[in-house]
Amino acid sequence: MPSPTTALQIITDSLMLSRAVGVDQTLTALEVSDSLRAFNDLKEILSTANLAVYGQANQTFNTVAGQATYTIGTGGNWSATRPVRISPVAYSSLPVGSATPTTYPCISITQEEYNLIGSKAQQQEYPDYFLFVNDYPLGLVTLWPVPSQVTPVTFSIDRVLTASATAATVVTFPPGYAHMFKYNLAPMLAPYFGKAVDPEVKAEAIRSLADIKRANKVATVMQYDPALRPRTGYVDWRSG
């Protein structure tokens, strides 16, 4: 098993790729601080590209009876890492506390679709739809119909690449990420040290990120509105 990699090791390797530091050179505290900030900037940028992030994680939150909108993020109504994206399909689980609950789908809608709802205060046990607004510093999730009771709703939320608190923080990611970080951080750090990055390093930065995206790609399943389904129960794509 490979030994744990720290943020400082990623930073040092990146600087060596651009020849900004020598093998035996020790970075100053300011250089480490600036480089760590750039490393966290890189992870924040990558978190906005869904294929650069390794998948999603299910997270369950409880509703409040009669409450439609919830803030999501650290310190919000639903306290968690603020999501960049939420998968368009969620589900509720009822009855609450049951060992074998029945799940009910909760589907994402757009702001425009929500605006067209005539009775926004309509209530039922579980929501059929949710609207996610990527607001800041907290995201906003609005449910409809408004839950009339405490109902657990489970969302599939894209992971966010976690920032490193200090240079000594261990960087733990799936295979390929440490290599990708080193090569993509090198072009970001080089200008800080008045250096230029070799074309080979830039090419490897592009290739390694592409490998990560290919590994994270999920096959897309074609769907269509059930209302368009013919009485025969199937659609012949050749004839429509």
Is the pLDDT score of 156 beyond 60? Answer: yes
* Confidence grade of residue 1 (pLDDT, cut at 50, 70, 90): very low
pLDDT reported for residue 97 = 84
CA–CA distance, 158 with 218 (Å, rounded to integer)? 13
CB-based contacts of 168: which residues, under 8 Å, 6+ apart? 6, 7, 8
Spatial distance between the Cα atoms of 132 and 85, rounded to a whole number of angstroms: 8
Radius of gyration for the alpha carbons in the chain, expressed in angstroms and rounded: 23
CB 189 within 8 A of CB 36: no
pLDDT per position as a tens digit, 48-95: 988 999 888 999 999 999 999 999 999 999 999 999 999 999 999 999
What is the per-residue pLDDT for 135? 94
pLDDT digits (tens, 9 = 90+) for 158-203: 989 999 999 999 999 999 999 999 999 999 999 999 999 999 999 9
Backbone angles phi, psi at 71, to 5 degrees: -80, 145
Compute φ and ψ for 183, nearest 5 degrees.
Answer: -75, -30
What is the spatial distance between Cα 83 and Cα 121, in angstroms, rounded to a whole number?
26
On whether the CB atoms of residues 75 and 138 are closer than 8 A, the answer is yes
Tokens of 154: 């489970």
pLDDT band at 217 (very low <50, low <70, confident <90, very high): confident
Q: How confident is the model at residue 229 (pLDDT cuts 50, 70, 90)?
A: low
> pTM (2 decimals)?
0.76
Identify the H or E element spanning 146.
Answer: strand 146-147
β-sheet bridge partners, residue 171: 5
Do the Cβ atoms of 49 and 86 come closer than 8 Å?
A: no
Give the least confident one: 18-22, 125-129, 176-180. Answer: 18-22
DSSP state of 25: P
